[in-house]
Amino acid sequence: MKIDLNTLTIRKVHDALIKGEYSAVDLARSYLSEIEMKNKDLNAYLEVYDDVLEQAISADKRIKNGNATLLTGIPVAVKDNILIKGRRAGSASKILEGYTASYDATVISKLKDAGVVFLGRTNMDEFAMGGSTENSAFGTSKNPHDISRVPGGSSGGSAVAVASNMALVALGSDTGGSIRQPASFCGLVGLKPTYGSVSRHGLMAMASSLDVIGSIAKTVEDAQIIFDCIKGRDPMDSTSIDLETKPSTLSPKPLVVGVPRAFTESEGIDKSVIENFKSSLEILKKQGFEVVDVSLPTIEYSLAVYYIIMPAEASTNLSRFDAVKYGFHKAGKNLLEDYELSRGEGFGKEVRRRIILGTHVLSSGYYDAYYNKAVSAREIIIEDFAKVFKSVDVIATPTTPSPAFKIGEKSDNPLAMYLADIFTVSANIASIPAISVPSGFAEVEGKKLPLGLQFIAPSGGEETLFALSKNFLKK
């Protein structure tokens, strides 16, 4: 049967499945048909699982038996750095060629228990290192709004899958904006939860003090439903917590929205982004929210701090990929040459760059000059956010400094690429939750390119983010 995928939400699908309007198998076939038509051009999926219909049959049995949850039968795409037992996983890297996961990530176990249907694994920047999905060893994903442009990254494939109706929702990971930036570029909702609120067990680590798993969806409620399923403390992840979620307080007193004006209107921000952001703030005012300027004097240093801490942690985490135990292997004359050849050819250019940077800032003579100073600066940034949150409920910024850029436009300029994270990295540095929601479009070369609005809340403030975002999107 023909199902209109454009307007589907998790709740709408659940109601339809319970009423018998269509089956989980019908729904899965509809998404598989879209994947067959579109994926060759958009390159969102690295692999579509061969047992999708079998999973859907199991979901239908569960529905028939009255054991369905809200997520039973929901088609989900999974970023290639999240492990599913018995399935390939490779972080879009050549060095993990042929690797099959030996266990489920905790988030996967929770979604399996809920009865979701996993469609496949999605493309990404190699080991989550990038903001465009151009760093994948398996080719660039394309933005559905303009295939000459990037979809963002590193969770670009997940965003493309949802934006093009090749999945209803998708899992991604966010280290410095890797969920929110592609959500913004593709006109979607992207949630980066509070650090530790979602287990990282089974997520291939990039920067362990920054990484968090979240969701990309078409609606705020869908992102919320996924978060409610996957959150919670996990004995397999010592950094995970049982989040003390603060209740939303949209009424009777209106929320106070803080705007770090000097930062959001600084040099280098695209004019269309600034105008859209101002319009978004006016919408919030009309909805009864109080919008005030705030001072975050150290937020401008977040990007510099991030690009010291992240490579340092990444270089350490990626040292385990030695091409000896599994994955790509290139034989040399001795063990050292084995390592050099295998890692030199197995890792892509951007991954090698960040490993070198990370190794440098951790090396003798530079550790104190760079890494320790970055850690100290991080604490000051955290303190600044805490001070501001004493007077405001949330902070608003644009999600990105520009609409989606052309494929290849920033490839030879790493610094320009890194600056695309300028608004998103601070939430990871401060370990606090943030969400990107669609806020309009920019007309560029005859194409309407999506723009995003970012809300940042204190630790545990997800419910406020959800409530405020839903209210904003009612506009």
Q: Please list the active-site residues.
A: 79, 154, 178
* Distance separating alpha carbons of residues 10 and 16, to the nearest angstrom: 10
Pair of tokens at residue 325: 């135990």
Contact, 24 vs 60, CB < 8 A? Answer: yes
* Distance separating alpha carbons of residues 91 and 315, to the nearest angstrom: 15
Instruction: Assign 3-state DSSP to the chain and report helix, strand, coil percentages, each to 5.
Output: 40, 15, 40
Concatenated DSSP letters of 125-164: SGGG--SSSTT-TT----BTTBTTB---SSSHHHHHHHHT
Phi, psi of 291 (to 5 degrees): -110, 120
Strand, helix or coil for residue 255? coil
Sign of CA dihedral 344, 347, 348, 350: negative
* Cβ count near 447 (within 10 Å): 16
CB half-sphere exposure, 420, CA atoms < 13 A: 30
Pair of tokens at residue 166: 């090749």
Torsion angle of alpha carbons 348, 409, 170, 104, nearest 10°? 10
Taking alpha carbons only, the member of 99, 126, 81, 95 closest to residue 353 is: 126
* Cβ count near 232 (within 10 Å): 15
Contact, 74 vs 48, CB < 8 A? Answer: no
Concatenated DSSP letters of 75-135: EEEEETTB--TTSB--TT-GGGTT-B-SS--HHHHHHHHHT-EEEEEE--SGGG--SSSTT
Instruction: Provide the residue type at 56 as one letter.
Output: A
